[in-house]
Amino acid sequence: MEKTFSMIKPDGIQRGLVGEILQRFEKKGIKIAAMKFMMISRELAEKHYTAHKGKVFYDDLIRFITSSPVLAMVFEGEDVINIVRKLAGATSPEAALPGTVRGDYSLDVEYNLIHASDSKESAEREISLFFREEEIINYELITAKWVYPK
């Protein structure tokens, strides 16, 4: 089954939205494969956001993501990369639709609560940046047969 990397960013932790955000993924039927509450080092932040190096917002972004703890997560499910991106919502606040995490709770393009991998390649890269192999738990979720009937 496909895996994706997601993360509740510092603003989500500070605003007390962890439960609210996680509940959406759990209720959807998505399986949690790993979770880590942590501070991101500058080194890890630079690796994670290497694609944005040189952009005007890069320094702010590194400062933001290292400013307070995050909740790093691996989710698992069919087409989970796309689905988690959809549930997270568009990057900018005016484009993020109601019903998405960002559409419902964020008003800023940078402080947008959640990260979600944007492709299979990014998912693999980001999962291995944040988690060791043994930290990703392989287990049977009892609800799976009611979520994926076929």
Q: Are 110 and 49 in contact (CB under 8 A)?
A: no
Q: Which does 109 bind (CB under 5 to 8 A by kind): Mg ion, ligand GTP, none?
A: ligand GTP
Site string for ligand GTP, 69-108 (x = CB under 6 A): ----------------------x-----------------
**Burial degree of 20 (CB within 10 A; 0-12, 13-18, 19+):** middle
Cβ proximity to Mg ion, 2 vs 118, nearer residue: 118
Instruction: Choose among 52, 95, 68, 62: nearest CA to 11.
Output: 68
Q: Is 91 annotated as a binding residue?
A: yes
Question: What letter does residue 92 receive in the DSSP assignment?
Answer: S
Residues that bind ligand GTP (CB under 6 A): 52, 57, 60-61, 91, 109-110, 112, 115-116, 118
